[in-house]
Amino acid sequence: MMSPSLVPGSADAAAPRAGSEFAADMLKALDTRPRSISPKYFYDSAGSQLFDAICELPEYYPTRTEIGILTQCAGEVAQLAGPRAEIVEFGAGSLLKIRLLLDAMKEPARYMPVDISGDHLAGSAAALRRDYPGLDVHPVVGDYTQRVLLPVPRAGGGRRIGFFPGSTIGNFTPREAVHFLEVAGQVLRGGALLLGADLVKDPAVLHAAYNDSAGVTAAFNLNLLARANRELGADFALDQWAHYAFYEPRQQRIEMHLVSRRAQQVTVCGQRFDFAEGEALHTENSYKFTIEGLRALAMEAGFRPGPVWCDARQLFSVHWLYAPES
């Protein structure tokens, strides 16, 4: 675990990458009102390590709850998937989660993790090849929110089964979520999607999950600014920014922000930006769902709802969604 004061800052900065996608999106975010940037930029090496630490926190229930559900339902999922299934994971997630499915399935033919990070994919693929020597592991580098080009189905292979755990669907706006599901439906024609979705619940539980007592989530949020210091030659003073996360019940979502503690000026890629005291950079939304709401979202994108599995406390849900046939 890492406290906010220990998040790496500009002292270990590499040469600024002013022409990068991160640079372009950060400059755009700072030049618009209200200021907002995609949560995908949380996940550099330091951010990924912090997120792994978050998943171990007592307050943060989603990861261990979803793993518990998958452990219980893996046999049923294997029966629904059928023999020699080809699994497409959208985002190279926890290897533990995909292993639960692979161990239960009957002779899975191929595993295709899709992620924009080639290095992360290579490491995940190498680990699975060692442990599943009979499995064709075929990583696909690409943006899974757009149509990705997958290899043709293997001769004698079964259906394509998508896997999208972690309630990552909640990081999309409703419109973006429908778009992602439509893209996934095209990739999975005639197959199905296994999707994890966090559920609406007591706001106190949600507040604790995103405001842990150890400050790890705060460090994770602040690492976005530290990354800008490292990669973009920015000069964010991390101690002058506060982590702020809250549940917005009308939109059924957690919002995360970084709030300026004082009036200040920051420089990014040589450009200066003013922040008033209390002004925020919106860094993430995490939508929560009812079971009926998630199923309605899936149907809007052309999926047909199937079985749903939940934990005893109704904190989290895992959905089997039948993909369009054509």
CA distance 42 to 50: 9
pLDDT of residue 149: 84
Strand partners for 266? 273
Rg, C-alpha atoms of the chain: 20
pLDDT of residue 6: 33
> Which residues neighbour 271 within 8 Å (Cβ) at sequence distance 6 or greater?
27, 30
Return the H-helix or E-strand segment holding 219.
helix 216-232
| pTM as predicted | 0.90
pLDDT of residue 264: 98
Determine the residue type at 218.
A
pLDDT of residue 281: 98
Determine the residue type at 104.
A
pLDDT of residue 326: 78
Structure tokens at 186: 């095209």
pLDDT of residue 11: 36
pLDDT of residue 4: 33
Buried b (16+ CB within 10 A) or exposed e, 37-51: bebebbbbebbeebb
- SS3 of 107, please? coil
pLDDT of residue 10: 34
pLDDT of residue 15: 47
Buried b (16+ CB within 10 A) or exposed e, 261-273: eeebebebbeeeb
pLDDT < 70 regions, the chain: 1-19
